[in-house]
Chain A
Amino acid sequence: MDSQLRFFFFMLLFLWIMSSNPNPEEKYPSYIDKPEILKHYKESMNISRNALLSDYNEGYGNISGFHLSYQDAVDNKTSKLYPIYELNHHFIEDEKYSILPNFISRQAANIWNSEDHIVDLPSNRNDSEEAHDGVKYNTGAYPLNITGFLKGNFKKSKLENHSLAPINITIPHYLRKLYEYRFSESQRKRNEQNNNDGFDDGNDDDSFYTAEYPFDDEVTRVGNFTEDNGSIRISIFNANPIEDESTNVSKHKINGTTPLSFSIKLNNAAETDEHRLSFSGVYHQKTGNLVVASNSAKFNGFYALPHLQLQDGADYEAAKWILFNEANKTDIDDIKFQEIESLVDSSNECEYIGYFHMESTNLTREELQKIDYELINPVGRPHKNVPDLKLTKGLLYSPNCAILLEVGESVGLRDQIYEDGLRNVILVGSIVIFLQILVLIRQMSHTNTPSTLSKLSFWTIAIINMADGSLSVVSLLCTMFFSDLYIQFVVCAFLAFSCSAIYEMKYGIQIYCTQINERTTSWRTMLQGITLDDAATANNNETINNGAEIGNPEATAVPADTNNNTNTPVPPPQTQFTGPADEQSIGAELYTRHFFSMLVFLFVLLNVITWPKRGRQIFEYIILTIFNSYWIPQIYRNTLRGSRSSFTWEFVLCTSFLRLIPIIYIESFANPFEHHTDMKFVLFLVIWLLLQIGLLFAQEILGPRFFLQDKYLPKVYDYHPVITKGDLESGFNFDREELISDGSSSSNEDSRTLTYVTDCAICMQKLSVPILNNSDNLDNGNLENSSSSLLPNSTKTAISKNASNLIARRKYMVTPCNHIFHTECLEQWMVYKLQCPVCRNSLPPC
């Protein structure tokens, strides 16, 4: 990819990111009077706050969404009739007055009574369900601070014995135009995205404002869970868990009750359907009970929370005062229009009321207090182990959508404990990366020469580098989400970055530079050296067959006239020689490529996070399998080069093991990343890596091409062939005067050892090549064209088995184009160029 194209993509990405910023200041049409709406909203807030201080008997008061009782809804009354009852009526927890149907309030009371008898519902109401009282599970107190994250399951109640009528909840009249406008705008944007031109905003329909059937996409409404069961993730933030002096309300009124922020995420099993809801609530530390309610422009659950305590008494009083205190933290004059906008936007959702019970612990209240003090302000004070948070059971009831969700046991950890666990995992991960760096440094010091580097596969290092780079990017990204673990994530990111961008990149560049001269060589040339004769034949065949097996122009050898003993090679007409790039420019190119692919990978990864479970899983399988296939390129390279040893075994084993550790941990054990366990995949990866290592080992023991049969394989070019007198006469630029006999007294000329003395074209020094006298010996073999071929074969090998010959052969190298050089000279030359120094014919790597 050239730099202009890269720049274009980058700009496109940049513009896309910039354009996705929403406009904070919304412009409204003139019929929406913002100051008027704000004024009304403030008045309504004032009324709601005053309603908080009312007596239990007076009921919810004039609170949005609580104008109708459940019985009213059954009787098809509308909120326009409010106040339906005389103000002097006595509110009791009965569906006649309460928003909760009797069977739901009974279930809620049973949940609250699961460890003790806390709630007494009125006896004079019509109850179809029985009351249950439980016994305490543990001996100690209930948790004081329940800030944490819990996971569990829920099922949607089928309501076999009961019918549940939806309550018609309407949005206040002063917000209707705003609601209509914002809804139509969002609908228009959605339709624009779907390229749907036939949009009807449906403004004429009066029932539009009701919560019952506001839209055509009822099914996609937030909170309208349609499947039978699913998983629930609960996030609780417990404000003021320890009574402090900042509250204006006296301690005896609060009575161990604290305000809550409660948010849930509902998913079906496949995670294709997701609902996120936020609630306000109160938690009673003395009983472990909590009640929550959602908030929107049409349903002001926060102000109804005291009456949702199911009975008058201490809990009601405590909730009343704590919520009044909480509400008055914001001055009414400080309320901004954006708050109204967000409440109006969430009016489209199913409203919920929830009842839960937190299980007691085995610790005393003092011990729990010590834990809380330590977690809030750590000074290293001794304390007992922090107990897990456990919601034994709960229910979520939606009055406007008529849904009842029964939440099962949900378990989780306090936020700080979760972070401690995550911190330990990150630190161990950092140690693993550090060990990986050490192993890599040792490997680098083992292979510091071009010849050893040329045996290594660039792509093996590239895959490892890619994995480490991704890890550093992900760690860096996590610093944004886990502000308390910033240092640990930065350390992890720094180590992974050092490993990736400094060591592995440097190693990759070294390998790349060493092998730069092979880049233009085809795999066939790598496997096989081609003599000039063969090349000529190959060229002819290509012309005849109109097929080009060797596509690389440089790999095509120059046809030379073997009968013509001239030393002048014909330069290949189509050869495009590009000088070897220096390490700096290669480094710059590789770095650019690396960082660009990292950036792309990051965006892909961010996108993948939002995918449903199945998609995520498949992506994970593919990516992890690719990242754990790093020995495959090396096996391929061994095969191509015919080299047995490449990386040290220490590096191979340590790298494989160290890189498997995190995957095994995440896939096999309960971990803070909430990754599911998948033993089959772990087993697959282990076997897959063992297979790769086994193949590498087998290549070292049995030879790099043991799994390929000779007949499928082009023969490897041997740079140290046995040269016969016949070879010299036919293929070499031969001067008979340079053939020297060893001076043996033998009368038979053929039995004498001959030496051919010529000049090495690189160092211009004399070079002696022992020559075998061919006639007799070779006649015994089955060499049909031995006189003209330098290719090694079994017969020649048999002939040349004596030790002196072997050593002598190692001192010279013969190229496929029949040029002879000193071994050291040509090896040094081949580090830079895989071309014959004399005729520029391509050379197979050795």
Chain B
Amino acid sequence: MTSALPPGFKQLPIAVWSSVAVIATPLCVSILNGKPYFMLAYDPFISKWSQYWRFLIIQLQFQNQSEIALACVLIMMKLKGLERVLGSLKIFKIIILLYIYNLIAIFLISFTFYKVFEWDLFIPSGPFGILFGFYFAYNKFIPNIYVARLDFSNFANFRPFGETMCVDINDKFLGYLGFLLLLIDEGIPSFILCSIGYFMGYLYFHELLPFTDSSLNFIDPLYHKLTKEQTSIPIVNSSNVTNNGSSLSTGARDANTNTNARSNPNQPITGDVDEEYEEDDDYDREGGSREDTPARTLGQQVFDTFNR
């Protein structure tokens, strides 16, 4: 298994659908003039008008364009790797579970803030919690590919922090930056929501929550039915991942949940698949030798480096 992600969204249906949903939902809501329904604060929506349904829909769409762009970039560049690690079906179930846990948490926080602290917390619309739940998994399951050390020792004589002036930047740096922007995007409310989301992620991936993805097994047939038509080639043998990747023991323990393997039952699941893949590594997708591929430009190399 290579450490680099394949380009695009190949074999990652959930990443595709979540990216599309992040963009398409706000568009549809805007067209249908439904933006006012994605506002939530305990007073007056709950206390006066009892509009509890707002809790159900508040995580479905971001209201601001910058948040949409940020979420999309994070899913496309960073979080899609999680689907490869955990499997599509499992990711799908985790999204549902994180949605439910965050929903409960938002309700409790909103209620507590209003009743105890007499603070009518404005809940910003968007899946902040879900994204930060996955941020925990991203940190936990995705290893660093490289670390770049920027040495400023000889840059200037001014050394306020001692002799070594080095900054370490790894491949997750852009991801951290994106999550930081999301964290402070709506001020204190978004900070609270993101923190809750991260905490929920922590609890979930440490199996401290009552329901895990196995409790949603009843949706498996439906999922397989919906994704039946998609042809997929097993790039990764799920059992290998389970055995080899010690750090993935929690996420990928249930080998049966790996869709890539299950969605195409006719495809033999053997350990040879990895070898084949690695052999194919020297060839591009059209079957030609890599010698034919033109050398990457410097800009392309820099872009590729930070794009991982």
Contacts and interface: CB of A to CB of B under 8 A. Distances in A.
B100 to A, nearest CB: 23
A546 B47 CA distance: 95
Q: Which interface residue of A379, A381, A420, A423 has the most chain B CB atoms within 10 A? A: A379
A378 B37 CA distance: 9
B121 to A, nearest CB: 16
B33 interface: yes
Interface in A361-386: 378-382
A378 B31 contact: no
A427 interface: yes
A600 interface: no
A623 interface: no
B49 A491 contact: no
A382 B49 contact: yes
Interface string B251-294: 00000000000000000000000000000000000000000000
B51 interface: yes
A491 B39 contact: no
Contact of A380 (B30, B31, B32, B37): B37
A783 interface: no
A287 interface: no
Interface string A734-766: 000000000000000000000000000000000
Interface in A651-694: none
B160 interface: no
Contacts of B51: 380, 382
Nearest to B53: A380
Given A380-B51, A381-B49, A382-B49, A487 B36 contact: no
Interface residues on A, range: 10 to 19
Contact of B32 (A379, A382, A427): A427
Contacts of A427: 31-32
Interface string A423-456: 1000100000000000000000000000000000
Contact of A488 (B31, B37, B44, B45): B31
A378 B36 contact: yes
Q: Give the interface size bracket for B toward A.
A: 10 to 19
B44 A491 contact: no
B39 A380 contact: yes
A394 B102 CA distance: 59
A379 B39 contact: yes
A488 B32 CA distance: 8
Interface string B70-87: 000000000000000000
Interface string A407-432: 00000000000001001000100000
Nearest to A419: B33
Contacts of A380: 36-37, 39, 45, 51, 54
- Which of A378, A380, A420 counts the most chain B CB atoms within 10 A? A380
B245 to A, nearest CB: 44
Nearest to A374: B36
B33 A423 contact: yes
A378 B39 CA distance: 10
Interface in B145-184: none
B30 A487 contact: yes
A491 B31 contact: yes
Contacts of A487: 30-31
A382 B44 CA distance: 11
B35 to A, nearest CB: 8
A381 B54 CA distance: 12
Contacts of A379: 36, 39, 45
Contacts of A423: 33
A382 B46 CA distance: 12
Nearest to B41: A379
Contacts of A488: 31, 33
Contacts of B30: 487
A386 to B, nearest CB: 15
A714 B49 CA distance: 79
Nearest to B34: A380
Nearest to A377: B36
A484 B217 CA distance: 46
A380 B37 CA distance: 6
B209 to A, nearest CB: 32
Contacts of B36: 378-380
Contacts of B49: 381-382
Given A378-B36, A381-B49, A488-B31, 12 more contacts: A379-B45, A380-B36, A380-B39, A380-B51, A380-B54, A381-B44, A382-B49, A427-B31, A427-B32, A487-B30, A487-B31, A488-B33
23 contacts: A378-B36, A379-B36, A379-B39, A379-B45, A380-B36, A380-B37, A380-B39, A380-B45, A380-B51, A380-B54, A381-B44, A381-B49, A382-B49, A382-B51, A420-B33, A423-B33, A427-B31, A427-B32, A487-B30, A487-B31, A488-B31, A488-B33, A491-B31
Closest 4 CB pairs of A and B: A378-B36, A380-B36, A380-B37, A379-B36
